[in-house]
Chains A and B, each alone.
Chain A
Amino acid sequence: ILNVEQSPQSLHVQEGDSTNFTCSFPSSNFYALHWYRWETAKSPEALFVMTLNGDEKKKGRISATLNTKEGYSYLYIKGSQPEDSATYLCALRGVGGSQGNLIFGKGTKLSVKP
């Protein structure tokens, strides 16, 4: 069974701090990696889909990198704001899996204090 690990489980930062967290996955069975942001009482929102080793994606103050050879992805948030408070999920689509057959990590819960 594929396992996707996210660390840390939770993170508390002050407004203005930059932060990053990790998603680890089995490199031998990689097809695509998804990042989602899930705010309380809302639907999970897609941030990035990454497929190529060395890929870097950016959306405003949030960026992500991907290393498929060693099996990890980093998500960075520059100058955290209270509205960044959410749970950040990563999900792996393995080789042979279909679009929706994603293996999710448990998430990193980020709290940004004003």
Chain B
Amino acid sequence: DGGITQSPKYLFRKEGQNVTLSCEQNLNHDAMYWYRQDPGQGLRLIYYSQIVNDFQKGDIAEGYSVSREKKESFPLTVTSAQKNPTAFYLCASIKGQGAPDTQYFGPGTRLTVL
């Protein structure tokens, strides 16, 4: 089955630690995205990548970093510089940048800072 996988499902981090959230897709999609959800808020874009070896900051990129070395993979690192990292993180992908098309989402990772 084609789809997007995210791991882990739950992640606990101590203050001051960097953690990396995994996102893998086997849909052969070109573009991938990371969103963050906080209680009572809509999804907010952290980073996106339209092509391998290229990525762009979204609305709330501070304290995060990404890489896109392979088409299938778009890991997100939450660094110690992120002031309030406890949130639910969703990864998404889309085929291309042409006519409007739907995004496919992964199941998410819930990150909690202890």
Chain A interface residues toward B at CB < 8 A:
4, 31-32, 34, 36, 41-46, 49, 51, 89, 91, 93, 98-107
With CB as the reference atom, state the residue of chain A lying closest to B4: A43
Q: Is the CB of A4 within 8 A of B42?
A: yes
Residues of B within 8 A of A (CB): 4, 31-33, 35, 40-45, 48, 50, 58, 90, 92, 94, 96-97, 100-108
Considering only CB atoms, which chain B residue lies closest to A34 in the complex? B102
Q: Which residues of B contact A103 (CB under 8 A)?
A: 42
> Do B100 and A106 touch (CB < 8 A)?
no
Besides A46-B103, A102-B103, 14 other A-B contacts (C-beta < 8 A): A4-B42, A32-B100, A36-B105, A41-B107, A42-B107, A44-B90, A99-B94, A99-B96, A99-B97, A99-B100, A100-B32, A100-B103, A106-B42, A107-B42
CB distance from B12 to the nearest CB of A (A): 19
**Min C-beta distance of B45 to chain A, whole Å:** 6
Q: Contact check: which of A98, A105, A107 meets B31 at CB < 8 Å?
A: A98
Of all chain A residues, which has the CB nearest B106? A43
Distance, CA A100 to CA B90, complexed state (A): 13
> Which residues of B lie under 8 Å from residue A91 when comparing CB positions?
43
Contact B48 A89 (CB under 8 A): no
Contacts of B94 in A (CB 8 A): 99-100
Given A32-B100, A43-B107, A106 and B31 contact (CB-CB distance below 8 Å): no
16 example contacts (A-B, Cβ-Cβ < 8 A) are as follows A43-B107, A45-B105, A46-B103, A98-B50, A98-B97, A99-B31, A99-B101, A100-B48, A101-B45, A101-B48, A102-B43, A102-B103, A103-B42, A104-B35, A104-B43, A106-B41
